[in-house]
């Protein structure tokens, strides 16, 4: 049983929390044919999670994915389902927070509430839920599920999360009827260990997505603009202020970044060019961007190429490319901009994390970002 004093890792003492992103999917975050990419084996998932736990990382965030994106890599075609993944990883770790990423259109909130509670108990209160609405039509079609119009997806998610929270907090059976979901005499016992409930995360980027996250969630998982570090603080402040002003809620802001270490800046940049440009899977990234609808939004060819480059390099995450000192300077800038946490990915997660722990962590501990380690 968790004591009152035992806070969830995302509320722990370190100013800049660290996580790992998308270790449950084939190729992780790198859309490349380069050697060393993540393979979906249980041993590799457990050993990575344990290494992150031992190093004091705060969070593991899986990606909810049901099919791949074609190309020579068929990027993300293999993935561990995220509730069962979190249950197993939770049992194999001690301190680190473990998320599930749940597609609301295909998981009933009653099922979600119970599965999440079970994982919360397995982990002693280290569980968290990342809510996604589903943007990939082929994936939703696999379930025979209807892909709602964009903003309606968030209205659906609002009903879903309302039922979820009621199930987590109400002892008596209740009825709920919305426009999309109806439950009758619904109840879920036991309750999660984490009170009032496990932390909720959402990565919506649109106005409807931000409204949903600010109103219902605890953590906003945002996509940083790799070419606009200067604008990051204003964006983070605006998001946090909006949640506070509209709903009186304190949002934590997380993002994700791809790491390419080098002994020199040039070595890191050369390797990035090698795996993302020379070995990048242009067909898979094109398919992914097309499904996301990016090709309709970014009409300037150079800007679109840049977008695809960051997606091949690390799923569009923020670039941490260079020497350990440069990486720590970049993290300091992000932390100064108000970022609470950064989930990391590498081409080779195991080698990358080991090098991070050897070369970056000691430098980070000399800053105000990781005084709690």
Ligand X SMILES: Cc1cc2nc3c(=O)[nH]c(=O)nc-3n(C[C@H](O)[C@H](O)[C@H](O)COP(=O)(O)O)c2cc1C
Residues near ligand X, by CB under 6 A: 63-64, 101, 132-135, 203-206, 209, 221, 223, 256
Q: Which is nearer to ligand X, 133 or 331 (CB)?
A: 133
Q: Which is nearer to ligand X, 152 or 223 (CB)?
A: 223
Q: Give the C-alpha separation, 343 to 360, whole Å.
A: 15
29 close to 317: Cβ distance less than 8 angstroms = yes
Indicate the residue whose CB is closest to ligand X.
209
Q: Which is nearer to ligand X, 135 or 326 (CB)?
A: 135
Distance of closest approach, residue 223 Cβ to ligand X, in angstroms: 4
Going by C-alpha positions, the residue among 258, 261, 239, 260 that lies closest to residue 250 is: 239
Q: Which is nearer to ligand X, 62 or 262 (CB)?
A: 62
Q: For residue 332, is the peptide bond before it cis, meaning its omega torsion is within 30 degrees of 0? A: no
Token readout for 93 is 């770790």
Q: Strand ranges (DSSP E) for 140-180? A: 174-177
Distance of closest approach, residue 29 Cβ to ligand X, in angstroms: 10
Q: Which is nearer to ligand X, 297 or 351 (CB)?
A: 297
Q: Which is nearer to ligand X, 38 or 193 (CB)?
A: 38
Q: Which is nearer to ligand X, 132 or 327 (CB)?
A: 132
Distance of closest approach, residue 327 Cβ to ligand X, in angstroms: 19
Find the helix packing angle between 207-216 and 150-169, rounded to 10°.
10
Q: Give the C-alpha separation, 187 to 167, whole Å.
A: 6
Which residue is associated with the tokens 């802001």?
A: 253
Distance of closest approach, residue 215 Cβ to ligand X, in angstroms: 13
Distance of closest approach, residue 164 Cβ to ligand X, in angstroms: 16
200 close to 217: Cβ distance less than 8 angstroms = yes
Distance of closest approach, residue 64 Cβ to ligand X, in angstroms: 4
DSSP letters, 34-75, are -TT-----HHHHHHHHHHHHHTT--EEE----SS---TTTTT
Distance of closest approach, residue 362 Cβ to ligand X, in angstroms: 28
Q: Give the C-alpha separation, 166 to 133, whole Å.
A: 20
């Amino acid at each position: 049983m968790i004591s009152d004093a035992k806070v969830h890792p995302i509320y722990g003492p370190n100013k800049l929390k660290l996580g790992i992103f998308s270790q449950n999917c084939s190729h992780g975050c790198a859309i490349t044919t380069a050697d060393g990419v993540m393979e979906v084996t249980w041993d590799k998932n457990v050993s990575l999670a344990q290494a992150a736990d031992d190093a004091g990382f705060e969070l593991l965030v899986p990606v909810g994915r049901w099919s791949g994106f074609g190309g020579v890599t068929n990027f993300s075609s293999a993935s561990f389902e995220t509730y069962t993944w979190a249950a197993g990883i939770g049992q194999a770790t001690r301190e680190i927070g473990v998320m599930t990423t749940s597609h609301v259109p295909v998981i009933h909130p009653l099922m979600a509430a119970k599965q999440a509670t079970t994982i919360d108990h397995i982990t002693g209160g280290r569980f968290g839920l990342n809510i996604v609405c589903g943007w990939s039509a082929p994936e939703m079609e696999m379930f025979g599920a209807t892909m709602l119009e964009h903003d309606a997806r968030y209205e659906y998610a609002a009903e879903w999360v309302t039922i979820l929270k009621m199930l987590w907090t109400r002892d008596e059976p209740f009825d709920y009827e919305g426009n999309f979901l109806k439950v009758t005499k619904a109840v879920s016992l036991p309750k999660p260990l984490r009170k009032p409930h496990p932390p909720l995360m959402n990565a919506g980027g649109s106005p409807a997505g931000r409204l949903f996250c600010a109103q219902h969630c605890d953590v906003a998982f945002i996509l940083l603009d790799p070419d606009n570090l200067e604008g990051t603080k204003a964006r983070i402040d605006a998001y946090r202020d909006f949640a506070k002003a509209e709903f009186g809620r304190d949002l934590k802001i997380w993002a994700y970044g791809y790491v390419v270490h080098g002994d020199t800046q040039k070595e890191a940049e050369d390797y990035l060019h090698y795996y993302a440009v020379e070995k990048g899977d242009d067909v898979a990234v094109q398919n992914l961007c097309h499904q996301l609808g990016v090709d309709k939004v970014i009409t300037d060819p150079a800007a679109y190429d840049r977008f695809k480059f960051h997606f091949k390099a690390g799923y569009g995450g923020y670039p941490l490319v260079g020497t350990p000192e440069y990486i720590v300077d970049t993290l300091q800038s992000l932390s100064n901009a108000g970022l609470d946490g950064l989930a990391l990915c590498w081409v080779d997660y195991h080698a990358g994390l080991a090098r991070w722990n050897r070369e970056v962590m000691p430098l980070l501990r000399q800053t105000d970002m990781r005084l709690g380690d």
